[in-house]
A and B are shown apart, each in its own frame.
Chain A
Amino acid sequence: MPVDVEARVISNTRLSPDYNVIALAAPEIARAAAPGQFVMVKPAQASAPLLRRPFSVFEVLRTNGRIEGLTLLSKRIGTTTNLLFNAAVGDVISCLGPLGRPFDLIDPPAEAWMVAGGVGLAPFATLAEALQSRGINVTLIYGARTSRELFYLDWFRTRGVRVLLATEDGSSGDRGRVTVPLERELQAASDRNVMVYACGPEPMLEAVAHLASRYGRPSQVSVERVMGCGLGGCYSCVIPVRNDNGGQHYVRSCIAGPVFSGEEIVWD
């Protein structure tokens, strides 16, 4: 059951002129959240913005094993993300969650490739931890415009995650999109059992889902549509999925997703 927590800002770290990681004292949500689930946030007191915005749970914060809260990875583009970027320690953020359908976890000997674009890195910290605790080999294939927008590489590397990078300007890893290293890996891994997880802009998700299915690999993608409530009340965040009878219909990505199988989505 989701809860609404008036969460104090524990810390707020600017990673770049646009990106920040904000830590919120919402242990109830952090404890209950499964990888891929999200929270709906708004500033606790201000009357604007009116509606909450969805964010993946990025990290679960622990001190001596005790869960203290969670972090959100944010890139500022609108009102809420600007508020999060500028939030001070002690500010209160209203945080509703955990919400949505999480990633399906796999079992060994299968391995996991997590494909992230930009702020789409967010669900993969908790996913990597959950998969590793099941003994899964985890690879992160991570792309951004430039190396200055690739974050938390050490976080993943020190945990034993293999990290492959792609940047549009070629400043780190492959020049181009994440599909460049992904396709090379798919070609090389024809005899291995792989689940592709992806989160990022929709054109990237579409490309990743197509690539995975071209190589006969299953994929799970986490989509982000404009959400009004996060609970299935408003029908704004819909995405078309395939019917059994060959047609398509809209489902609410807040409750049927945000994680979908890459094959089930009808990409436009």
Chain B
Amino acid sequence: MGLTDLSVKIGSLTLANPLIAASGCFGYGVEYAGVVDLSHLGGVAVKGLFLTERQGHPPERIVETPAGMLNAIGLQGIGVHRFIKEKLPELRERRATVIVNICGSTLDEYVELSRILSDAEGVAAIELNISCPNIKEGGITFGCSLHGTFDVVSAVRKVTRLPIIPKLTPNVTDVASFAKASEDAGADAVSLVNTFLAMAIDVETRRPKLSNIVGGLSGPAIRPIAVRMVYDCHRAVKIPVIGMGGIASAKDVLEFMIAGASAVQVGTANFADPFIWSKLLDGITEYLNRHHIPRVSDLTGTVDTGVHAAH
């Protein structure tokens, strides 16, 4: 049992296991210290940070939809400086592998944020949020243009040695080309998917259910689309792919990894069950033992499509 190797590599970074808490679904990590041992997670992707504090959108900010939820939080946050001062020391002390999710309105802001974080002690990697569907300025304008993606990744590459993980939006026709642009620009990995731009309306009042009118769809509803996108990206690039979208069980983790993910993130499911992490790890271990697979990383990209069956 104990021989099962759950560790995975994301570029130069080794994670204890493939489970990462998804950005925006785990606060700054410290909120969960009372329910999970943060050092037992593969990583903690903290809530998207700007250079400065942000208020976010007025409520209503979430609404449940069939097998999923819409959110338009609007990236309320304390800004990178307060994060480093107020949250990072505790994360360090709890030996969390911290992935800082950053958002900028301009290319220079991404560069500045990366520079600041490179000097901070206790940051394992930078996840470039170029895919938040909920704010007008910046972010997604990079993530929806191949040039924009290439430019922001290469600019950040010049100022940091930390692993860079651009987080891709599914709201494009060919997500694999964005993974390729990221790889070409020097990214160490890509993560996907962020949420799908979506909308829900109260028919009695004819008002949108979110104050922001539109929001991002997450949860099991998006899982098959996300699995397909991870599969596409894995075939298009050599760098690791971090998969997410609706993961709620060990089986879902395995599905993403078999499709091509080297690690996964879990967002919405953590809201329903903050104790999900050990259940996922137990399920993964049980599967590896049952199939006599020594390393979880052996699973990545092993989907059998029949194409290579004939030697």
Contacts and interface: CB of A to CB of B under 8 A. Distances in A.
A50 B219 contact: yes
A1 B271 contact: no
Specify the main secondary structure of chain B where it touches its partner.
loop
Contact of A233 (B32, B60, B66): B32
A156 interface: no
A48 B61 CA distance: 20
Interface stretch (B22-30, B97-105, B142-150): B22-30
The size class of the interface chain A forms with chain B is: 20 to 34
A174 to B, nearest CB: 31
Contact of A48 (B63, B67, B275): B67
Interface stretch (A31-39, A56-64, A82-90, A234-242): A234-242
Contact of B220 (A50, A235, A237): A50
B62 interface: yes
A225 B67 contact: no
B203 interface: no
B3 interface: no
Interface string A207-250: 00000000000000000011011011111111100000000011
A239 B56 CA distance: 11
A234 B271 contact: yes
Contact of A234 (B34, B62, B68, B275): B62
Contacts of A183: none
Interface residues of B, number: 33
A234 B24 contact: yes
Given A226-B59, A236-B62, A239-B59, 6 more contacts: A4-B274, A50-B219, A50-B220, A226-B60, A238-B59, A250-B76
Given A1-B35, A50-B64, A231 B274 contact: yes
B62 A228 contact: yes
Contact of A232 (B31, B56, B64, B219): B31
B121 interface: no
Contacts of A237: 59
21 contacts: A1-B35, A2-B35, A4-B274, A42-B272, A50-B268, A50-B272, A51-B69, A51-B271, A94-B273, A226-B61, A226-B62, A231-B31, A231-B35, A235-B24, A235-B27, A235-B61, A235-B73, A235-B76, A236-B59, A238-B61, A255-B31
B126 to A, nearest CB: 21
Given A225-B59, A229-B270, A234-B24, A49 B64 contact: yes
Interface of B: 24-27, 31-32, 34-35, 47, 55-56, 59-64, 66-69, 71, 73, 76, 219-220, 268, 270-275
A47 interface: yes
A2 B34 CA distance: 8
Contacts of B274: 4, 96, 229, 231, 233
A237 B62 CA distance: 9
Given A50-B219, A50-B268, A228-B69, A233 B64 contact: no
A1 B31 CA distance: 11
A79 to B, nearest CB: 8
B71 A236 contact: yes
A233 B67 contact: no
A1 B25 CA distance: 19
Nearest to B63: A226
Contacts of B55: 249-250
Nearest first, the 9 closest Cβ-Cβ pairs linking A and B are A232-B31, A229-B271, A236-B62, A236-B61, A1-B34, A233-B27, A228-B271, A235-B73, A232-B27
